[in-house]
Amino acid sequence: MRQWHSARKGSLPTVPIQTEVIHLTSRFVRSSQIPPVTVGSSVVNPAAYVRDLGVIFDGNLSMPRHINNICRGATFALRKIGTVRSFLNRATTEKLIQAFVISRLDTCNSLLYGLPTKDLSKLQRIQNSAARLITLTKKRDHITPVLRDQLHWLPIQQRITFKLLLLIYKSLHGSAPAYISDLLIPYTPPANSAPGMHDNLTRICCRTKTYEGRSFTVSAPFLWNATPTHTRDSPATSSFMKQLKTFLFKVAYEGLNFVT
């Protein structure tokens, strides 16, 4: 990197190397610790957790520290907003919640696809608390009607699925980086196949659902092929998002079957 920068813009400033190294592996595979990595004149030891673009990764990609970090920041914001809730109207409260709480839940949430329900339930409790604060719903009252009928919010699991499907749609329509689009392989159906199969993606087999199955290469075809054809055929991103939310609403609140 120093050679590349020197050849184009001069030498790099003499600042400490901000490099972290982590060994990613399945929790079902026993592997030895990798040795330290030399970067320039610095020796970097492998770490148990690293941060990249605000996301905290662990060696097994189970994301416990990242989820706890989201919950910590969102809970702090909820408490601060709660102290002034009596002075705010509903519209203003909802704007604050969207800016300081929901935005935390949605940032890079596609990385949480495939995690166990027990982990995602922590984020769902945060969303439920945010909904109660906006609508002044009591703790003993059921929260599902509030999310569905008053706020029209998708639950956490469906918000993750929504983000992934939107990324797939943009990738197939040239609105995503090439390194993402190249991961999607169009499916070539037999000549006598059903019309809806012509815009499917080729499914990739995997051995571990909680590790390989969470990768974009594997999960994208499963989600895309299970999405209704009329939604996938939307002519614009805005109409796709609208139809996709309607579909996922039915999955979340009406029990519509959907492979996730």
- Given a contact cutoff of 8 angstroms between Cβ atoms, the answer to whether 134 and 94 are in contact is yes
Per-residue confidence at 17, pLDDT binned at 50, 70, 90?
low
pLDDT per residue as tens digits for the range 38-90 = 877 778 888 889 998 889 999 888 999 999 999 999 999 999 999 999 999 99
CB-CB neighbours of 17 under 10 Å = 14
pLDDT per residue as tens digits for the range 28-51 = 777 777 888 887 777 888 888 999
Q: List the single range of 134-143, 153-162, 203-212 with lowest mean pLDDT.
A: 203-212
What pLDDT, on the 0 to 100 scale, is given for residue 210?
Answer: 74
What are the contacts of 50-54 at 24+ separation with CB within 8 A? Answer: 50/20, 50/21, 50/22, 51/20, 53/108, 54/107, 54/108
From residue 88, alpha-carbon distances to 93, 136, 138, 139, 151 in Å are 6, 12, 18, 20, 17
Residue 230 predicted with pLDDT over 70? yes
What pLDDT, on the 0 to 100 scale, is given for residue 86?
Answer: 96
**Residues contacting residue 147 through CB under 8 Å, at least 6 positions apart:** 127, 128, 131, 153, 155
Per-residue confidence at 3, pLDDT binned at 50, 70, 90?
low
CB-CB neighbours of 144 under 10 Å = 12
What pLDDT, on the 0 to 100 scale, is given for residue 15?
Answer: 47
Geometric angle at alpha carbon 54, from 49 and 56, rounded to 5°: 20
Residue 207 predicted with pLDDT over 90? no
Spacing of C-alpha 230 from chain mean position = 24
Measured CA to CA, the distance from residue 188 to residue 172 in angstroms comes to: 15
Q: List the single range of 13-27, 169-183, 218-232 with lowest mean pLDDT.
A: 13-27
The predicted model scores a pTM of 0.87
From residue 160, alpha-carbon distances to 6, 93, 154, 238 in Å are 41, 24, 9, 18
The mean pLDDT value for 171-183 works out to 93
CB-CB neighbours of 99 under 10 Å = 12
Measured CA to CA, the distance from residue 33 to residue 31 in angstroms comes to: 7
Q: Which residue has the tokens 């929790």?
A: 27
What pLDDT, on the 0 to 100 scale, is given for residue 11?
Answer: 53
The mean pLDDT value for 182-195 works out to 77
Measured CA to CA, the distance from residue 6 to residue 11 in angstroms comes to: 4
